[in-house]
Amino acid sequence: MFNFDFYNPTRILFGQGRVADIDKHIPPHAKVLVLYGGGSVKATGTLKEVLTALNQRQVLEFGGIEPNPSYETLMQAVDIVKTQQIDFLLAVGGGSVIDGTKFVAAASVYDGDARDILKTRGTVIKKALPFGSVLTLSATGSEMNNGGVVTQKSTQTKSAFFSVHTFPQFSVLDPTKTYTLPTRQIANGVVDAFVHITEQYLTYPVNALVQDRFAEGLLLSLIEIGEQALHHPQDYDTRANLMWIATLALNGLIGAGVPQDWSTHMIGHELTALYGIDHARTLAIVLPAMLSVRKEAKQDKLLQFAQRVWQINEGTEQQKIALAIAKTREFFERLGVDTSLSAYNISAEHIDNIINQLQNHKMTALGEKREVNLDVCRQVLTQCL
């Protein structure tokens, strides 16, 4: 196992009816900016519940954070924070709203050009405003991690940033808040969490017994409840399990002390920035092809995945690996998530464009061993067709 630091200060307020408890975790005299997306929180009543829980505090609202939040929109919120002397932020929404709020928290107190935060992947962040979140979509894990992803529309650049200062102070995880999600977003959430786990698990063995078993437990649980979550929107236990699985998939626990890949995500980010495909849907396209192109480098873990997650015990090693990848693809397809570029009308002539963007964004040495160069990306994208 590698050396590691594990630090996660986010308080989780889990369960039905927990929105009311935010009152205990925000300073009583704070001036609060509540940030949200395109309006689902108004339609579902969650925003009203949040405003009631905020009690007598001075509260301003900032709506309109789009899926794949943009730098351009978020800078408008930064302006409000500065001019209105806001001292606490509250994100109410999915990963996009929480990521956007992290950016606003850091950019509002940053002295230079806020784009530095994106250019440096967050290393320039030395402080941030305190913030909490009320989660309405199980997928990204943003509610309990310190990362965010923001898109600069002008250059079609989707950049991730991280900082010890951008953990939420608290996150409310009330599974009933996800009852109103369209099935497409539920399916996206299952796929995103699945691929967060594989990016930290399907690398090479370092004898990290419990990280492997945690990852396998999360994958098995997702496979068990993924379709149920689609078909039984008001089943509390299913939604509760999905919510906690997605949080644990990317809160640092399973990734501590093990190699990590993230190449599927980096290629996926380019597909979202160029063609507007939902984040999780890009991952469903790239992951099966990535595993197949890199099956030698990942052989030991792919065999472990085949045996422990998909219960494949027959056949040669190569057959087991091929079947495990096929079963992963079938799982995504059963959730209604397509696994090829052609499903989005993207064909061979678009590949150069994607490769150019990877190069522009310096994504030229990806993967757990930095061996996913542009040639490997091209092979992967060709297999995605």
Rounded to the nearest angstrom, the gap between the alpha carbon of residue 232 and the centroid of all alpha carbons in its chain is: 23
> At residue 340, what is the residue type?
S
Per CB under 5 A, contacts with Zn ion among 173-202 are 192
* Residues 273, 327 contacting (CB under 8 angstroms): no
DSSP strands (E only) in 276-364: none
Report the residue from 181, 215, 225, 376 that binds ligand NZQ according to the rule CB under 6 A. 181
Report the residue from 122, 130, 141, 226 that binds ligand NZQ according to the rule CB under 6 A. 141
Per CB under 5 A, contacts with Zn ion among 339-358 are none
- Nearer Cβ to ligand NZQ (100/322): 100
DSSP labels for 49-79? HHHHHTTTSEEEEE--PPSS-BHHHHHHHHH
Neighbouring residues of 349: CB distance < 8 A, sequence distance ≥ 6 = none
Q: Please tell me the distance from the alpha carbon of residue 373 to that of residue 277, in angstroms, as a whole number.
A: 23
- Nearer Cβ to ligand NZQ (264/292): 264
Check binding of 18 to ligand NZQ (CB under 6 A).
no
Report the residue from 78, 93, 157, 302 that binds ligand NZQ according to the rule CB under 6 A. 93
Check binding of 263 to ligand NZQ (CB under 6 A).
no
Q: Which does 141 bind (CB under 5 to 8 A by kind): ligand NZQ, Zn ion, none?
A: ligand NZQ
Per CB under 6 A, contacts with ligand NZQ among 24-53 are 37-41, 44
- Nearer Cβ to ligand NZQ (31/115): 115
User: N- to C-terminal Cα distance for the chain?
Assistant: 37
Per CB under 6 A, contacts with ligand NZQ among 292-331 are none
* Residues 339, 288 contacting (CB under 8 angstroms): yes
Q: Is 83 exposed, middle or buried (0-12, 13-18, 19+ CB in 10 A)?
A: exposed
Which positions from 285 to 304 touch Zn ion by CB under 5 A, shown as an x/- string?
--------------------
CB of 182 to ligand NZQ, least distance (A): 6
Q: Which does 95 bind (CB under 5 to 8 A by kind): Zn ion, ligand NZQ, none?
A: ligand NZQ
Rounded to the nearest angstrom, the gap between the alpha carbon of residue 105 and the centroid of all alpha carbons in its chain is: 18
Check binding of 180 to ligand NZQ (CB under 6 A).
yes
Report the residue from 18, 239, 265, 294 that binds ligand NZQ according to the rule CB under 6 A. 265
Residue in 121, 108, 134 with CA at minimum distance from that of residue 51: 134
* Residues 35, 96 contacting (CB under 8 angstroms): no
CB of 173 to ligand NZQ, least distance (A): 12
CB of 278 to ligand NZQ, least distance (A): 7
Which positions from 230 to 259 touch ligand NZQ by CB under 6 A, shown as an x/- string?
--------------------x---------
Q: Which stretch binds ligand NZQ (CB under 6 A): 12-20, 107-115, 176-184, 340-348?
A: 176-184
Report the residue from 133, 171, 185, 241 that binds ligand NZQ according to the rule CB under 6 A. 185
Lookup: tokens for 196:
């967060």
* Residues 155, 114 contacting (CB under 8 angstroms): no
CB crowding 345-371: b at 16 or more within 10 Å, else e: ebeeebbeebbebbeebebeebbbeee
Q: Please tell me the distance from the alpha carbon of residue 70 to that of residue 13, in angstroms, as a whole number.
A: 28
Q: Please tell me the distance from the alpha carbon of residue 279 to that of residue 197, in angstroms, as a whole number.
A: 15
Read off the DSSP letter of residue 364: -
Q: Please tell me the distance from the alpha carbon of residue 250 to that of residue 255, in angstroms, as a whole number.
A: 8
Check binding of 290 to ligand NZQ (CB under 6 A).
no
Q: Please tell me the distance from the alpha carbon of residue 135 to that of residue 123, in angstroms, as a whole number.
A: 26
Check binding of 99 to Zn ion (CB under 5 A).
no
DSSP labels for 3-47? -------PEEEESTTGGGGGGGGS-TT-EEEEEE-SSHHHHHSHH
CB of 44 to ligand NZQ, least distance (A): 6
Check binding of 147 to ligand NZQ (CB under 6 A).
yes
Classified as helix, coil or strand, 326 is: helix
- Nearer Cβ to ligand NZQ (140/304): 140
- Nearer Cβ to ligand NZQ (276/315): 276
Binding site residues, Zn ion, CB under 5 A: 192
Tell me which residues touch ligand NZQ (CB under 6 A): 37-41, 44, 67-68, 93-97, 99, 136-137, 139-142, 145, 147-149, 177-178, 180-181, 185, 188, 192, 250, 265, 279
